[in-house]
Structures are given as C-alpha cells and as structure tokens.
Amino acid sequence: MDEKQQFEVWKEDMEPVLTSKVEEFHMLGYDKATKDEIWRCVTERLRKKKTYVPFYSFTDELLNLKASVYMTWLTVNSYKEPEDWFREFEESEK
C-alpha cells in the first residue's frame, strides 16, 4: 500500500476541527495559535509516517493534538527558520 498522501484535499473538510482546536488553544492561553500553524504541525508530523494515513486517522491526530506537542513543534521550527530575523534586527539598529 504505497499511496501518496494528499492532506491538502482534506483541509476544507477539517475546517470545523481546526476552528475547534484553535479555540481550545486560545482557552489554554496560547492566543497566537492559528489554523494554518496547527494544520502544518499535524501534516508535517504525519508526513514522516511510512504508511498511508486514512482520513479518520488524520482527524484523530488533529483532535488529539496536545498544546505541548504544538509548542514543541513551534520551537523546533523557529530554530529551522533562516537567520533573517538577526539581519532585520541589525538593519533596524542602523
């Protein structure tokens, strides 16, 4: 079963779940959580799996995403970002 994942096809169907998850994170104090970031977090985690992920498993992953996992993902991705932030900081000091 070597099917290619097509998560983007499911994004519109997942809109209510994403909205719910954003509201949950906002209630927990993570006010800057967005639908796009949560979507990226879940899809990047699932793309690493070697097997095909069916729709119901994807929904389950999204519904069970913990704030700690999301925050860890944000932290790791902030380190992966290019170092443009430092360049912008240096330019603003000039």
- Taking only the tens place, the pLDDT of each residue in 26-80 is 999 999 999 999 999 999 999 888 888 899 999 999 999 999 999 999 999 888 7
Residue 27 in any domain: the answer is: yes
Residue 85 in any domain: the answer is: no
Question: How many C-beta neighbours within 10 Å does residue 81 have?
Answer: 8
Q: What's the predicted TM-score (pTM) here?
A: 0.78
Residue 87 in any domain: the answer is: no
Structural domains of the chain, count = 1
- Domain residues for the domain of 38 are 11-66
Residue 19 in any domain: the answer is: yes
Our measurement of the distance from residue 74's CA atom to the centroid of its chain's CA atoms, rounded to an integer in Å, reads: 8
Residue 86 in any domain: the answer is: no
pLDDT at 83 over 90: no
Residue 30 in any domain: the answer is: yes
Residue 40 in any domain: the answer is: yes
pLDDT at 8 over 70: yes
- What is the chain's alpha carbon radius of gyration, rounded to the nearest angstrom? 16
Task: Quote the CA–CA distance of 90 and 69 in Å, as a whole number.
Answer: 32
Task: Quote the CA–CA distance of 51 and 33 in Å, as a whole number.
Answer: 29
